Structure 1
Amino acid sequence: MRLRLLLLALGTFAVGTDSMVMAGILDGIAGDLGVSVPAAGQLVSVFALSYALLAPVLATLTARWDRRRLLLTAMGVFTVANALSALAPDYGTLLATRVLAAAGAAAYTPTASAVATALAPPERRGRALATVLGGMTVATALGVPVGAYLGSEDWRLTMWLVAALGVLAFAGLALLMRGLPAPTAGAPGLRERLAPLRDRRVLAGAATTLTFFLAFNSVYIYLATAVRPATDGDQGRLSLILLATGIASVAGSWLGGRLVDRLGVRTVLLAGSVAAGLAFAALPWLSRSLPGALVYAVTAPLAGWAVGVALPHRMASIAPANAPLLISLNSSALYLGIASAGAVGSGAMAAFGERWFPLVSAGLAAVAWGLSFTTTARVRAEHAVARGDGAQVGARA
């Protein structure tokens, strides 16, 4: 099982590198294709929005597909799209290839997450999910810096790097990912598959994911600005802060999986939201020195990615038979948060200034905490009533 989970994580590592590295090569793209940097930045937004819109649609349309076939198809589309991005002769073509790459990613990541939960026994599903999602956090610590370094010479090399990662993931899945649990016999049709969208628990879970990742990324996107007093414009200091952020993201994903299995989803959601919110609120003071900025760089992603593991686990537990669709909805909410964070962060900066804008993220984290507190408490009570006892069965739901 461990090897299979690592292969699935290799695919999410490729997806994570692709989705996050673009921000580091926008100058090169703009100069090469003769467009403005803001226009090049739309490539990031188009990828995120396409992912968000396509994930639940593709999960529904492919519900009856063999899981191995779906993983291979998704990774194949993703890989080809990145190769086409590397070859794109103009901005319009590149934009189209980003939509295609988002389609492959939107089909792959939720499926990989659902397969991970199906492969693992119930008491280890949090750790299995953390392993697969850990591929995305490792991308922030390793894939993005390497991709950005290559992109400093030629942005197309970065796209070839992502395509090569896709080839490796595809080959591993093709060779070793056999005998996966099949889709449930007599799988429900489209109307039944979409029924969870009418479930208030699903909507609450998606709203929590969107709000939390909006809070997290509204600061992350503008982290260089937020910690400028600590770095004084020195690239080496900023690189140190970003390295600490990447390492803490990996640690947060690992820790979140274990805490979900040990303490339950609700505890992780509530404690992680509080910790992240306090980090956002303290950043205007922590950013005045390098040690303080490093405290933030460790605390916020450690808490944030622990919550990031708990959120899809919570969604999948609502209706396990529809786990791929529910996890895809969670992914959609996450990417909508990412897509909206640029505008929210810049708006907060315009309203409150470069020092105080993280306070908006602190407020959003408080909203995410409130959503988690009220909706997970309700889910726990409903589960207990359904069982006819007072057991705290919802603590892990």
Structure 2
Amino acid sequence: MNVHASTEDKIDDIKDRFYEELEHVFDKFQKYPMKILLGDFNAKVGKEDIFKPTIGNESLHEISNDNGVSVVNFATSKNLTVKSTMFPHCNIHKFTWTSPDGKIHNQIDHILIERRQHSSILDVRSFRAADCDTDHYLVVAKVRERLAVSKQTTHKVHMEKFNLKKLNEVEGKEQYCVEISNRFAALENLDTEVDVNKTWETIRENIKLSTKESLGYYAPKNHKPGFDEGCSKLSDQRKQAKLQWLQDQSELNGDNLNNIRHEVSRHFRNKKREYLKDKIDELATNSKNKNIRDLYRGINDFNNGYQPSSNLVKDENGDLLADSHNILNRWRNYFSQLMNVHRVSDVRQTEIDTADLVIPDPREIGWDGMDWIDLAQDRDQRRALVNTVMNLRVP
């Protein structure tokens, strides 16, 4: 769980509501998996003996503030430990926040874990050289989890997709037709008594090879839109300026770092605006050309944002499967149960009762159609009688 707590100067009601919501979300977690809380707690955790063993002896601060006491109380109630206060490091590797003037350093970002699994975290420290363009430093924890996995050779599942958009072009369509015709010309003389499964495998491989040769695959999607070579160079300049400021925190280096930060932020902001404008123009073009599939795909990308892909599936018991071999077996069993229809031999024979005719049989009345229609006083009855007479055949 990622946490961003209120600052020290907030009123107590806001802090209490935050920890109530935190407790409500934390209680929804499952019992056995590892639970880790990390983020900006805005809390100074000290070295008081009354708070041990929830805290350690390696905190940057000697005395806890109000937010620190709240964090310790929450950790104690949920049987957690504050692991960020338990590893010996230099003070510069304990800083997680620095004031804008560079004179005040605090350790307010923490990592909490359940006491029964506290040995899974091997180390916690901050890295000042990591360029995140923020007043917080990057906090890194080394985590070791013991998992019971089957010793099977894992095979990477290729999720490559053919570039079917080329079929909309005349050249791509002709090239695909030529490829598929040449490959299937050799299949016309196949023996009809060959196994159906082998024949289908041959047809499928020929289709895939023809599509690969003529259409190719989709290019991998770039998850950093608008990030070009110029952005990379400016990012490197900002990183070098920050390293120079960390080595010599003079006023000149600080002003240089601030100027480069403003320039990089301005450049990134302009690049993002250009990217959004290009995407909007692309959506407008798809709407004008009635490319409905590409139009809705682009709209969904805007609405959903970045969605990380996952190849995990669940088995019959609801447990996650990560091994590719087990995943393929799961899909095979699922579709075999879904597509195979088993005949039911035991079918109950039910007796069907027919209702009595409300309208008398015209053959009993005679073939005088007008007298028969006069029997119907209602319009619906007349329409039904006329239809019946028109459908009758005179022997």
State the TM-score, normalizing by the size of structure 2. Answer: 0.19
Rg: which structure is higher?
A: 2
- Name which structure has the greater RCO, CA cutoff 8 Å, separation 6+: 1
Greater share of residues in strand: 2
Greater share of residues in helix: 1
